[in-house]
């Protein structure tokens, strides 16, 4: 599979993270179409005033997802309505189930038909993806986040799930698939080739994209050899070779 140039990518690029300075920095890039966050990323970024933090970021005026954090389905729905009020570009992230395994398909169906933009997240199975797409079909603009990267981490082939979800979503008029938990630049190439609508990735991955298709594999090989040589010299590495060996 040949890597396309950044300007040739059809998949929309979202930054996944909660560091405010990083989001502001990435928002300066015209090729960044949106942002996703989650409670784990918020914790890592030290966010305590959720509403205040969010209201500052919605000014970016691009898709931005904020997740509910209750474990009670009815309260999750209530939180979703609050989050939706933070801005027209806000998508409410709701997990596929709560921690007791109670599904949220009917909850997102109702919210979507109220006009709330939904990002249904933590999707790991084909059945979950199919039911999420069905629940959101015909409602407000929505996304379904399939955790391809985490599936790969556990040796599970995410490609059939992604391909099926993309095909199902493209039959709707309002649902897009997000390739989530991205691990490497090649995931962007894969997502684009599959026709995925969106891929969300950490900033450190996305910052590598301008270099797409700028080097051949042979050039990369030579660059690697040169970097090894430069590092050996910089480290002052020495290895005495017997004269008899040197002459061979």
CA-to-CA separations, 143 to 64, 123, 124, 158, 215, in angstroms, rounded: 11, 11, 14, 18, 34
In a domain, 1, yes or no: no
Query: How high is the pLDDT of residue 92?
Result: 98
Q: Which residues are catalytic?
A: 93
In a domain, 169, yes or no: yes
What is the C-alpha separation between 109 and 137, in angstroms, rounded?
8
What CATH number is given to the structural domain containing 203? 3.20.20.70
In a domain, 171, yes or no: yes
In a domain, 74, yes or no: yes
pLDDT in tens, the chain (248 residues): 667 889 999 999 999 999 999 999 999 999 999 999 999 999 999 999 999 999 889 887 899 999 999 999 999 999 999 999 999 999 999 999 999 999 999 999 999 999 999 999 999 999 999 999 999 999 999 999 999 999 999 999 999 999 999 999 999 999 999 999 999 999 999 999 999 999 999 999 999 999 886 788 888 888 899 999 999 999 999 888 887 665 56
What is the C-alpha separation between 107 and 215, in angstroms, rounded?
48
What is the C-alpha separation between 67 and 178, in angstroms, rounded?
15
β-pair type (32-36, 198-201): unpaired
Query: How high is the pLDDT of residue 248?
Result: 60
Q: What tokens appear for 81 in the block?
A: 């309505």
In a domain, 109, yes or no: yes
**End-to-end alpha carbon distance in the chain:** 42
In a domain, 38, yes or no: yes
Q: How many CB atoms lie within 10 A of CB 175?
A: 26
In a domain, 205, yes or no: yes
Query: How high is the pLDDT of residue 219?
Result: 85
Residue 42 lies in domain: 8-213
In a domain, 55, yes or no: yes
What is the C-alpha separation between 86 and 161, in angstroms, rounded?
32
Domain count, the chain: 1
Please tell me the pTM assigned to this model: 0.90
């Amino acid at each position: 599979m040949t890597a396309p140039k950044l300007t040739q990518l059809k998949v929309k690029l979202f930054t996944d993270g909660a560091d405010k300075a990083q989001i502001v920095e990435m928002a300066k890039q015209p090729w960044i179409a949106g942002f996703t966050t989650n409670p784990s990323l918020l914790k890592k970024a030290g966010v305590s005033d959720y509403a205040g933090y969010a209201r500052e970021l919605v000014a970016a005026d691009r898709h931005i997802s904020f997740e509910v954090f209750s474990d009670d389905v009815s309260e999750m729905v209530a939180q979703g309505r609050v989050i939706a009020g933070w801005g027209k570009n806000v998508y409410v992230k709701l997990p596929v189930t709560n921690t007791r395994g109670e599904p949220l398909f009917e909850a997102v169906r109702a919210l979507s038909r109220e006009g709330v933009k939904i990002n249904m997240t933590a999707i790991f199975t084909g059945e979950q993806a199919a039911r999420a797409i069905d629940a959101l079909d015909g409602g407000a603009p929505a996304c379904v986040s399939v955790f391809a990267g985490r599936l790969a981490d556990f040796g599970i082939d995410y490609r059939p799930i992604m391909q099926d979800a993309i095909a199902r979503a493209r039959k709707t008029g309002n649902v897009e698939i997000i390739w989530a938990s991205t691990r490497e630049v090649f995931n962007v190439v894969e997502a684009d080739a599959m026709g995925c609508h969106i891929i969300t990735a950490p900033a450190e991955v996305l910052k590598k994209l301008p270099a797409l298709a700028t080097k051949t594999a042979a050039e990369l090989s030579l660059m690697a050899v040169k970097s090894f040589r430069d590092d050996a010299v910089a480290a002052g590495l020495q290895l005495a070779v017997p004269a008899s060996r040197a002459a061979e």
